[in-house]
Amino acid sequence: MLGADVTWSPERVVSFFGDDVSGENRHRHVLWYGFGLVEFSWERASRDRPWSGHHLSVQAHRLTHGVTPEPALVERYGPFSGPVAFDDVAAELERRGVELVERAGTDADIREYWQPKSFTSVLVVVGADYGNPGDVYSLSSPMFVTPESRESELFRTLHGA
């Protein structure tokens, strides 16, 4: 995400995106910051341990509701005109040779795609309960089925986490 990733500390993420945190959820072992479209989540084993990045998300569905993208995103990509069509994203990824694999989902109104090399999940609206069918709902990375999953183990091996 513009060079920011889950290895960054909460302080570094705030210094990059600005201190206008639109959402914060802080618990003993979990910390989450939202900046508009972008969210970062951290976890830690105990209060005396440092925060460790868990995942980052782009909540694209918020464009439908008029949420203003972070200034860093607008500066890099220009103004956002509205929802992001999954067909456009899929076509660009295919053009770049990036594989997406559809995963079995648990919600009939959302379709999930997985990018195995980046451990990124892309959720796409299928039913009207989540927005306009065909729009990207969100992207999350790294995202695992469970902490014990094969994907999670591979990520830890590749990234020394």
Please check the confidence at residue 69 and state whether its pLDDT lies above 80: yes
- At 77, the pLDDT band (50, 70, 90 cuts) reads confident
User: H/E element holding 13?
Assistant: helix 10-17
How many angstroms separate the Cα of 57 from the Cα of each of 42, 89, 97, 110?
Answer: 12, 16, 22, 16
Cα 136 from Cα 76, distance rounded (Å)? 20
Same domain, 120 and 141: yes
Same domain, 70 and 91: no
The reply to whether 145 and 97 lie within a common domain is yes
Q: Which of 90, 72, 92 is nearest to 20 (CA)?
A: 72
- Cβ-based neighbour number of residue 37 at 10 Å: 22
Same domain, 160 and 122: yes
Residue 102 pLDDT greater than 70, yes or no: yes
Examine the domain organization and report whether 76 and 1 are in the same domain. yes
pLDDT band of 17, cuts 50, 70, 90: confident
Q: Greatest CA separation found in the chain?
A: 46
Residue 95 has pLDDT above 70, yes or no: yes
Residues 126-146 have pLDDT tens digits of: 988 888 999 999 999 886 544
pLDDT of res. 75: 85
Same domain, 70 and 105: no
The answer on 52 and 18 residing in a single domain is yes
Q: Which domain holds residue 95?
A: 83-161
Maximum mean pLDDT: which of 28-37, 58-67, 73-82, 86-95: 86-95
Has residue 27 got a pLDDT over 80? no
Q: What pLDDT is stored for residue 145 in this prediction?
A: 45
Residues 76 and 4 in one domain: yes
**Do 53 and 114 fall within a single domain?**
no
Do 90 and 28 fall into the same domain?
no
Q: Mean pLDDT in the chain? A: 82
User: Which of 18, 50, 81 is where one domain is finished?
Assistant: 81
How many structural domains does the chain have? 2
Per-residue model confidence (pLDDT) at position 159: 55
pTM assigned to the model: 0.79
Is residue 23's pLDDT more than 80? no
Query: What pLDDT is recorded for position 100?
Result: 93
